[in-house]
Structure 1
């Protein structure tokens, strides 16, 4: 990823589908953050364009998948830096959701690790958040069919060495559809 410019990274993300996802290999937390920031910029550009053309329909939902300690929160830190520069991003494991409000778009960061059934989502304010800003969720596999119909799917896997990660990004359609 070191040789790819931010514009090349963004272009790969823009044209990705789950049949042909954008795949990146990062070698450090810094590179993973850069990738998160690139996706955030793609999303903000798309939101701005849709609002300018009166085509806004719903805020994007970014569903993160990956095992414990693979770098989901690191990715979110890069993503959130575009929405709220300088924000102290931490995984909301116990609070379930963190809010990063800016003048332009609100960002809501979820950690669904402790969600055990769909009813748990109601008590977190999950459904209200989805309608009021961009949402990014760690442990999305625990959403039990309650993800919005159209999402950005981000999968993070460990690589061959300690710091290497393979990150796959694509637009996806879920079977749910809240």
Structure 2
């Protein structure tokens, strides 16, 4: 959750965040923290889009779409769900390997790995010029949450 809260202020319209990890790695938990922070509502209900495939939220100044592609029948179905319009706002995507050729070229990646002790490691890629800011924000957020960066 600390990672989601730390990353949220760095996101703007046109950004795509691709969340990778095995079942139970924390993709939806991370997405919930991002969404609650982006929408300035820490108690906001954020259901998993596992069955609906997409949930849309109105954050101040930007629409945010949370996709879960686990059950996606193929990239063509994504177009029917409004993928192109969603990409004008912020998109959070669980199971992004199912995007195929629709993967945004400048996407930011968060790979979640479950450690043997049950903790999580996150590998962040594609943050470019923001990499230093990301590292500082994540470290600060993890310290505040009492977690190890």
Deviations 1:2-26 (A, max 9, x none): xxxxxxxxxxxxxxxxxxxxxxxxx
Q: Following superposition of structure 1 onto structure 2, how do residues 27-106 of structure 1 map, counting pairs within 5 Å?
A: 33-43=1-11, 47=12, 59-84=14-39, 85=41, 86-106=43-63
Partners of 1:134 and 1:145 lie apart in 2 by 18
Give the TM-score normalised by the residue count of structure 1.
0.66
Give the TM-score normalised by the residue count of structure 2.
0.78
Q: How many residues matched?
A: 126
Q: Following superposition of structure 1 onto structure 2, how do residues 75-154 of structure 1 map, counting pairs within 5 Å?
A: 75-84=30-39, 85=41, 86-131=43-88, 133-154=89-110
Alpha-carbon RMSD across the aligned residues, in angstroms, is 1.7
1:118–1:143: 8 Å Cα contact kept in structure 2? yes
Partners of 2:127 and 2:59 lie apart in 1 by 27
Name stretches of at least 5 consecutive residues in structure 2 with no aligned partner: 129-149
Name stretches of at least 5 consecutive residues in structure 1 with no aligned partner: 1-32, 48-57, 174-178
Partners of 2:64 and 2:97 lie apart in 1 by 20
Q: Which runs of 4+ in 1 moved over 4 A?
A: none
Partners of 1:170 and 1:89 lie apart in 2 by 25
**Once the 2 structures are TM-superposed, how far is the Cα of residue 143 of structure 1 from its aligned partner?**
0.7
Partners of 1:79 and 1:103 lie apart in 2 by 13
